[in-house]
A and B are shown apart, each in its own frame.
Chain A
Amino acid sequence: MRPLFKFHGGIHPPTHKAESTGSPIAQAALPSKLVISLHQHVGNRAVPVVQVGERVLKGQIIGRPEGRLSSAVHASTSGTVSAIDMQLVAHQSGLPDLCVTLVPDGKEEWIPHSGVDYKQVAHTDLRHMLRQAGVVGLGGAVFPSDMKSYSHKHKIRTLVLNGAECEPYITCDDMLMRERAGDILRGAEVLRELLYAEEVLIGIEDNKPEAIAAMQQAVLGDKHAHMEVIAVPTLYPGGGAKQLIRVLTGIEVAAGVRSTEMGVQCFNVATAYCVWRAITYGEPLLSRIVTVTGNVEHAQNFEVLLGTPVDELVAQAGSKPDTERHIMGGPMMGVDLPSGSVGVTKATNCIIEASSRLFPPPPPALPCIRCTRCADVCPAELQPQDLYWFAKAKDFGKAQEYHLFDCIECGACAYVCPSQIPLVQYYRFAKSEIWQREREAQAAELARERHEFRLTRIEREKQEKAERLAQKEKAALAAKTAAPAPTPEPAAVAKAATDPDDTLQMRIDAAVARAKEQAAVAQPKNTDTLTPEQQAEIAAIEARRANIREMAAHAGADDEPPKSNQG
């Protein structure tokens, strides 16, 4: 037996898993439309590459990855693009995002696709395939998998495969492991290869004996030599990557530190499955397993096309009429969906139909009595009662000092709080306030720099003007001494000194002169108003020149150092 480690705290909420494991994974019906978000992953939103009215095929890229941290988005089935616009999406922000609406034609017509033998292909190409196939972490973090399968800077010893699934109600990973264990492990093998990992530890909570048995059998049957299925104690949030890594390897990964720095990388079992499909069959990530449970007639897991509206999905499980809201994810960390019209995304592991009977609203919060039950269960070993105090008092500096940003928002503290204080909401509030203040501070800093620059510029211009004036006066004086001007009549001098009209005239003259000067400064240079073509031409010429100079320099260096260098 492998020795397991413990993480601090944790809770045992009722699991409610049995409801949705009674029947095998069902294929969800083709919906009337698909609302596919172009931002289903961490990083940059994919850029739409289709037009409204265009017919697309199943698996066709409709959003190309933009920038390094991004991932492709595909048409989940064949059909016609009916809209590309901002729509509500399945995200906790509740804000709209860019979506492609697709009306399926029912033909399920695929683009041509084929896979490769991962052993014959360079790692860079494999990662590129994952990026183009839109493979992202399906455990909830939706981090692009290609970015996680590097091991350049740090030696990865252990690949952890996360099958813990500690949240109550959710069973999508459980069912996937029961039914498709072989492909999961083959995908894990690809990831192991990419990471050069020595061992693969597959952690599954011990309340899933069928999944454990299926995975164990697959390890033995396919002779995966470096893999081990490990039953971990059922304890929420044991499925958090950091908690699972701790339990399996004893390594504690601090907040802000990547586990790779400590030689461990962690992937969800469903991600490994998609990796295998993407590499071996060239199948992009078009669907995922979603648990539909809660206030429904028959809770079940469905294989759901990405973009399927939640309303249409839950109807297939018999959502009861008194359902008040849809929760995406589990009851501990899930989010209240802004609408039933949002499309299923790569992060949608579970939809819980919620009614006030199922999740009664908590009684009004009482004051904190510092009983520290929250600290007892906190997996990050924080002092939640203090963080609550600071967040409530808006003492954000102190909250950060007490490690607010180590909070993983698992909700264990709020779960046990006898005063029913929504602790996690206070932490989210504090975090968002701190982020907001940092943004404001940055903006203020920028404004300050601009302002200071402006002041120095004005000062400099003043000085320059004074110098010019002084020089003029000097020149005038020199001219005067060279040829003394006729002395003005005393009356005229007196008039100039006393007549306000004259001083006014002088001021007007000065203003005109200033305006002329400014106009001269603003006068465009002949290189300022170039067309883009001209600019491109100039740039090309400059590049050529630079190239030639460089070549010349190299040539000189190769033969003998140029004389000038020797002084």
Chain B
Amino acid sequence: MWSSPFITQPSSVSQIMLRVLLALIPGIALYVWYFGPAILVSIVLASATALATEAAMLKLRQRPLKPFLTDNSALLTAWLLALSIPPLAPWWLVVVGTAFAIAVSKHLYGGLGNNPFNPAMIGYAVLIISFPAHMTHWLTPHALAGTELTFGEQLDYIFNSVLPKGLSLDAVTMATPLDTLKTQLHLGLSVDNIRDMPIYGRLAGKGSEMVSIGFAIGGIYLLLTRIISWHLPVAFLATLFATAGIFHLLDPAHYVTPLFHWFSGAAMLGAFFILTDPVTSPTTTKGKLYFAFGAGLLTYLIRAFGGFPDGIAFATLLMNICVPLIDAWTQPKVFGKKGGGK
């Protein structure tokens, strides 16, 4: 028997995911502009792997293929993971990471909507722990590169691990700005000296700061179209800024400016695209603020004092663990039960 409501708003999970994918495009475009088209190979590779794994898992779990393959959620996981992996990473790295993210961290937990951890970040964590060396071969931005690989040469390296004669990998890759910062600080240099190195631009790393801005633009689009609410990105960025700001003020020689943290690594991607995964973030307004606060703080602590150059992935995963507790503790009062009446 039919039951009300008889009408629904024409919105769908598929559309929401599609909009998030669209919002990633400015960042990706800038990525290609500054670092070359290798990232597109990673994205295509990850997308194909994600869809294939999703289909295989759905088949194994005896679920209908079409509604889930077209919900675009697997694609989103793939893109986010591809954007977190160095573009010159060998093809199997992308495949292993994506397949693990979809098969284990999504489907083994019950599929869409049931996974407690952000699948893309699980994929990233698995790769950086299992293959740390491969995860550090980041491309040098065009502006600094002495030699540049052509698209064909990039493909050759990704799929066959073959570089053109007389060229070593170090000639085309370099540590990320956050990595460089960490290493140089260990070597006893001050922040000012490090920031004078050619890898750094106005805000953070050359090229990578522009990519971050691209992701921020996409994020603002998501905010304006109300795909995401402001609570998570704003609270996250504010916490990161404030924490970095405090340390920077206390000791400017050892701690970089808050803006550097904003536009380095995956801060913007994390703020607008990773933390905001609805499945793995709290549902209450207050809970979202606590969650983002925790993620911001952990990100900074891992970056400044931890063993990994960037802390977004681990901060996200650690906060994912807390979500049920946060949700339970932040249940809002319902209509008419706030006391006072007015």
Contacts and interface: CB of A to CB of B under 8 A. Distances in A.
Kindly state the interface size class of chain B when it binds its partner.
35 or more
Given A254-B335, A428-B3, A383 B279 contact: no
A55 interface: no
B112 A369 contact: yes
A336 B331 contact: no
Contacts of A386: 283, 327
A550 interface: no
A368 B113 contact: yes
Given A369-B112, A420-B12, A334 B6 contact: yes
Contacts of A453: none
Given A254-B335, A406-B334, A332 B113 contact: no
Interface string B310-342: 000000000000000001000111111110011
A50 interface: no
Interface in B258-290: 278-279, 281, 283-284
B279 A369 contact: yes
A424 B5 contact: yes
Contacts of B281: 370
Kindly state the interface size class of chain A when it binds its partner.
35 or more
B32 to A, nearest CB: 30
A373 B8 CA distance: 13
A24 interface: no
Interface in A296-330: 325, 327, 329-330
Given A325-B2, A333-B4, A381-B335, A370 B278 contact: yes
A379 interface: yes
Contacts of A419: 12-13, 113
Nearest to B73: A369
A333 B5 contact: yes
Contacts of A325: 2
Given A252-B336, A370-B279, A381-B335, A332 B112 contact: no
Contacts of B8: 362, 414-417, 420
A13 interface: yes
B166 interface: no
A79 interface: no
Interface in B1-28: 1-9, 11-13, 15-16
A242 interface: yes
Given A250-B342, A382-B334, A385-B283, A369 B3 contact: no
Contact of B3 (A246, A363, A420, A425): A425
Contacts of A383: 283-284, 331-332
Interface string A4-25: 0001100101100000000000
A368 B283 CA distance: 12
A380 B284 CA distance: 14
Interface string A353-393: 01000010011101111111101000111110110000000
A262 B331 CA distance: 26
Nearest to B114: A367
A415 B283 CA distance: 18
B245 interface: no
Interface string B166-186: 000000000000000000000
Contacts of B37: none
B7 A369 contact: no
Contact of A380 (B12, B13, B114, B334): B334
Most chain B beta-carbon contacts within 10 A, residue among A14, A254, A364, A424? A254
Contacts of B71: 366
B278 A369 contact: yes
Contacts of A424: 3-5
Interface of chain B: mostly helix, strand, loop or mixed: loop
Interface in B90-107: none
Interface string B64-78: 100110010100000
A384 B140 CA distance: 48
B303 to A, nearest CB: 28
A255 B336 contact: yes
A253 interface: yes
Given A257-B336, A386-B283, A372 B278 contact: yes
A371 B13 CA distance: 9
Contacts, number: 141
B9 A415 contact: yes
Given A381-B332, A381-B333, A383-B331, A375 B5 contact: no
Given A381-B332, A411-B4, A262 B341 contact: yes
Contacts of A380: 334-335
B6 A327 contact: yes
A416 B283 contact: no
Nearest to A417: B8
Contacts of A14: 7
Contacts of A257: 336
Given A366-B67, A368-B113, A381-B332, A336 B341 contact: no
Interface string A252-267: 1111010000100000
Contacts of A13: 7, 9
B96 to A, nearest CB: 26
A375 B336 contact: no
Nearest to A294: B6
B201 interface: no
Given A242-B336, A257-B336, A372-B278, A331 B15 contact: no
Most chain A beta-carbon contacts within 10 A, residue among B4, B7, B9? B4
Contact of B7 (A331, A403, A428): A331
A335 B5 CA distance: 9
B169 to A, nearest CB: 40
Nearest to B278: A371
Contacts of A352: 6
B278 A251 contact: no
Nearest to B328: A386
A323 to B, nearest CB: 13
A379 B7 contact: no
A368 B335 CA distance: 24
Contacts of A414: 5, 8
Contact of A415 (B7, B12, B15, B338): B7
Contacts of A368: 113
Interface in A229-275: 242, 246, 250-255, 257, 262
Nearest to A375: B283
A403 B334 contact: yes
Interface in B149-169: none
Given A370-B279, A403-B334, A406-B335, A336 B1 contact: yes
Nearest to B342: A250
A94 interface: yes
Contacts of A366: 12-13, 67-68, 71, 112-113
Given A369-B13, A373-B11, A419-B113, 18 more contacts: A13-B9, A94-B1, A252-B338, A253-B336, A254-B336, A329-B4, A334-B4, A336-B2, A359-B7, A366-B12, A375-B283, A383-B284, A383-B332, A411-B4, A416-B9, A420-B8, A420-B12, A428-B3
Interface of B: 1-9, 11-13, 15-16, 64, 67-68, 71, 73, 111-114, 278-279, 281, 283-284, 327, 331-338, 341-342
30 contacts: A242-B335, A250-B341, A251-B341, A252-B342, A254-B336, A329-B4, A330-B4, A331-B6, A352-B6, A354-B6, A366-B13, A366-B67, A367-B111, A370-B278, A370-B281, A371-B16, A371-B278, A381-B332, A403-B337, A406-B335, A411-B4, A414-B8, A415-B5, A416-B9, A417-B8, A418-B11, A418-B15, A422-B3, A424-B4, A425-B3
The 3 A-B residue pairs with the shortest CB-CB distance in the complex, in nearest-first order: A254-B336, A411-B5, A367-B113
